[in-house]
Chains A and B, each alone.
Chain A
């Protein structure tokens, strides 16, 4: 299948990854060959076959509704790049639906 630079740019946006302008044709070419390798699966006749998304030997795994406190907020915050007064600090928030 034909993979265009536009498709790869869209996928990069979805992935929150940057592709250098100079690299886009090379990345597209490489991604195209990988996607086409993956697309070999289209040859397999899967009519009427159920999907398997995981191989587990149990279902309905529930936890009782008992609250537990984590020992300390400081511990949870210790890897935070920037924080203020117990909040995680982030640059100003832009439009939420970037993936449209």
Chain B
């Protein structure tokens, strides 16, 4: 079966009433994935023996027995976790990520691991050792990335919800490209313990689903304090579903001039329509400026790559992962294992990061980027003094054609211009489907101040109720 017309509430009702068994649900889900994934390639690992947890409690746990997709950079004990890299293509984790522990405690069912750009570096899921993932709205288009597999799994109805990770837009951009909701919570909201690190100060685990409420339900389960993550906030986690269905009247909505200037034509019209909808419903719309927007791409690529260059040093062929053969000494093991184990994009970023941190470059690159990051944070603080949310486009264009940008890294990097500021500032941000452009979905990005995911759910749900995008079905998969 597929979940194009289901959500957590509807499945929970059927399971509770006994019209559907959790075992059946698990089997049907796996069967459907196997049937549809030939075309999509959204999964790296499908757990064919997927089974629900024992003693399911449907009234206590909304997620009980419900299959959830997990991006393949989140560790699942005893289930292969690869980060879509050759260097980890046989890696079997010996512990669960905190988010997995929590989903297990909530009795969710695990059916497998989704495809992604290698080590979450990319915006198209073309950089995977396990092949390209295809957009269900048009198989010739990229699904976005890096959480492309998770977005496609949700958009194609393979699951009702998926976990992704977002370092510079890796949840929101694929959500936009696939016509689903996706949220990157506040930095420090969800534990990173067990997330294979890309850039530690930017990485955040989040959720993707057709409806905002579904993501709120999953976020309720995975968010909150964890002693393993010292950068995690200890503040209480509100019930995010309380913001669903809340009126937006009087809400102060900022529209960033530079973000709107980044889109034109039909794209701009669709976004403008959504803003008008909010205004008509009583929101107060203010135009604001983020003058540093033109610098966020360089700022992000310096910081993210610097951290990544260090985080990925542990993949050295010594303790786990791929070790090259025919090595003559230790240096050879390092260099050959890494050169053969990493893909081109990962190597580029490691090189950029090593450069930015190296003697003689540190002040000009890393330190300067850390300073500009301060200014970017201050700009957001200023806007949020007078506004509750910022809305605008999630991406500059709808999904592009597979292969069209992969040879031009800088063009690819610029795809992230609208999403990466939220990671630099640590603020929560989501993409909610806004409409169709050239036959492909596009997303409205909603940002809020730190730890105010609630306002995002409130606005996203309102948009969703108005444009009813969730009634649309991807058209690219044929029969």
Contact = CB atoms under 8 A, between A and B. Distances in A.
Given A11-B358, A52-B370, A81-B323, 10 more contacts: A14-B354, A17-B335, A34-B410, A38-B365, A41-B295, A43-B295, A53-B373, A91-B330, A91-B332, A94-B331
B330 A14 contact: no
15 contacts: A15-B309, A16-B335, A34-B409, A39-B365, A41-B372, A43-B295, A44-B292, A55-B201, A56-B233, A57-B235, A80-B319, A90-B333, A91-B327, A91-B330, A92-B329
A85 interface: no
B299 A17 contact: no
Nearest to B93: A79
A44 B297 contact: no
A91 B321 contact: no
B371 A50 contact: yes
B328 A16 contact: no
B298 A55 contact: no
Interface in A38-54: 38-44, 46, 49-54
A22 to B, nearest CB: 14
Nearest to A8: B351
B94 A44 contact: no
Given A15-B309, A16-B316, A56-B231, A41 B351 contact: no
A37 B334 contact: no
Given A11-B351, A18-B336, A80-B320, A94 B234 contact: no
B347 interface: yes
Task: Please give me the 4 A-B residue pairs with the lowest Cβ-Cβ distance, nearest first.
Answer: A55-B426, A79-B320, A51-B370, A46-B371
Contacts of A58: 188, 233-234
Contacts of A56: 187-188, 231, 233, 426
B230 interface: yes
Given A31-B351, A55-B201, A94 B298 contact: no
Interface string B206-247: 000000000000000000000100110111000000000000
Interface residues of A, number: 50
A74 B105 CA distance: 26
B318 interface: yes
A54 B329 CA distance: 38
Interface in A12-35: 12, 14-18, 30-31, 33-35
Contacts of B90: 79
B376 to A, nearest CB: 8
Contacts of B468: none
Interface in B371-428: 371-375, 377, 409-410, 413, 425-426
A35 B355 CA distance: 9
B284 interface: no
A43 to B, nearest CB: 8
A29 to B, nearest CB: 12
Contacts of B292: 44
Given A38-B365, A44-B292, A57 B351 contact: no
Contact of A49 (B316, B317, B371, B410): B371
B351 A17 contact: yes
B339 interface: yes
A2 interface: no
B91 A51 contact: no
Contacts of B187: 55-56
A52 B374 contact: yes
B338 interface: yes
